[in-house]
Amino acid sequence: MVVFQSGFAANAGTVAAVLTKDDVVISDELNHASIIDGARLSRAAIKVFPHKDVDAARKILTDLPAGQRKLLITDGVFSMDGDLGALPELCALAEEFGCIMMVDDAHASGVFGSNGRGTIDHFGMHGRVDIQVGTLSKAIGALGGYVAGSTDADRVPVSPRAPVLCSRRRIRRRSRPRASRRSTSSSRSRRSSSGCGTTRASSRRA
Ligand SMILES: Cc1ncc(COP(=O)(O)O)c(C=O)c1O
């Protein structure tokens, strides 16, 4: 779990941190502006499919090179019209085409699923979504945003550019006793390869 200053920063920061200019994002036309900003920041190619049109998303994916890294992204609940995202169909598509699957659950966290876990829980998509974003500023009634995601660094590599406020892993490292904090060469190289050392191995799949 990684915490950001807002849901907007969580979406924009995560998309920009996961994608590079060589990648492609496949995005529902009604996805939130923060996703669009993140995609633009990343300089990845942006392919937009009509709202909830899974067949159109499939057509886009079919036309892309198999080896290109792809992020398939949908809102869990769309802020524009209140629709639920087509999670089961899009997760199946992501698995078929080897996409990183991301869900923006800003309007679902605290509302849908058991104990407000969001649309991934609502649809029973556990283990099939790589990245789940939520906000603390809607149902939770505070301020901030969070990202929960896969521990699979090969599938979801993260650049050190993410505008992260804090992460579970960083908090844990700082709270270790001084004597055990001495770096080994392997922990030093792990830190330098993961940049801010936050999101690569932070939590279970959403
Ligand atoms: C779908 C969606 N995602 C993300 C956000 C951004 O959340 P925040 O208001 O916490 O920045 C919003 C805000 O309205 C939203 O509707």
Domain boundaries, the chain: 2-193
Rounded to an integer, what is the distance from CA 127 to the centroid of its chain?
13
47 is catalytic: no
- Ligand 1 centroid, distance to 118 Cα (angstroms): 14
- Residue 201 to residue 167: CA distance in whole angstroms: 10
Calpha distance 103→121 (Å, rounded): 12
Its pTM stands at 0.80
Residue 140 in contact with residue 110, Cβ under 8 Å?
Answer: yes
Dump the DSSP string for 31-59. S-HHHHHHHHHHT-EEEEE-TT-HHHHHH
Please say whether the beta carbons of 129 and 105 come within 8 A.
Answer: no
* Closest among 18, 36, 42, 13 to 165, alpha carbons compared: 13
Task: Give burial (CB, 10 Å; 0-12/13-18/19+) of 160.
Answer: middle
Judge whether 138 counts as a catalytic residue: yes
- Residues ≥6 apart with Cβ < 8 Å to 152: 130, 205
Q: Give the three-class secondary structure for 176.
A: coil
CATH of domain 2-193: 3.40.640.10
Return the residue whose CA atom lies nearest to atom 14 of ligand 1: 79
Question: Does the Cβ of 137 fall within 6 Å of ligand 1?
Answer: yes
Q: Among residues 137, 138, 159, 203, which one is catalytic?
A: 138
Instruction: Report the residue among 37, 73, 107 best suited for mutation to probe ligand 1: largest number of ligand atoms under 8 A from its CB.
Output: 107
pLDDT score at 187 = 47
The finding on whether 135 has its CB within 6 A of some atom of ligand 1 is yes
Rounded CA-CA distance 6/12 in Å is 10
- Catalytic, 79? Answer yes
Give the Cβ contact number of residue 200 at 10 Å.
Answer: 21
d(CA 152, CA 203): 10
DSSP for 66-121 reads: TTS-EEEEEESB-TTT-PBP-HHHHHHHHHHHT-EEEEE-TTTTTTSSGGG--HHH
The predicted structure's pLDDT at residue 136: 93
Give per-10-residue mean pLDDT for the chain (206 aa).
91 92 97 96 96 98 96 97 98 97 96 95 96 93 89 64 54 46 48 38 40
Centre of ligand 1 to C-alpha 98, Å, is 27
- Please tell me the predicted confidence (pLDDT) of residue 146: 93
Pocket test for ligand 1, best of 79, 132, 147 (most atoms within 8 A of CB): 79
75 lines ligand 1 (CB under 6 A): yes
Report CA(202)–ligand 1 centroid distance (Å). 23
Q: Where are the alpha helices (DSSP H) in 28-165?
A: 33-42, 54-62, 87-97, 119-122
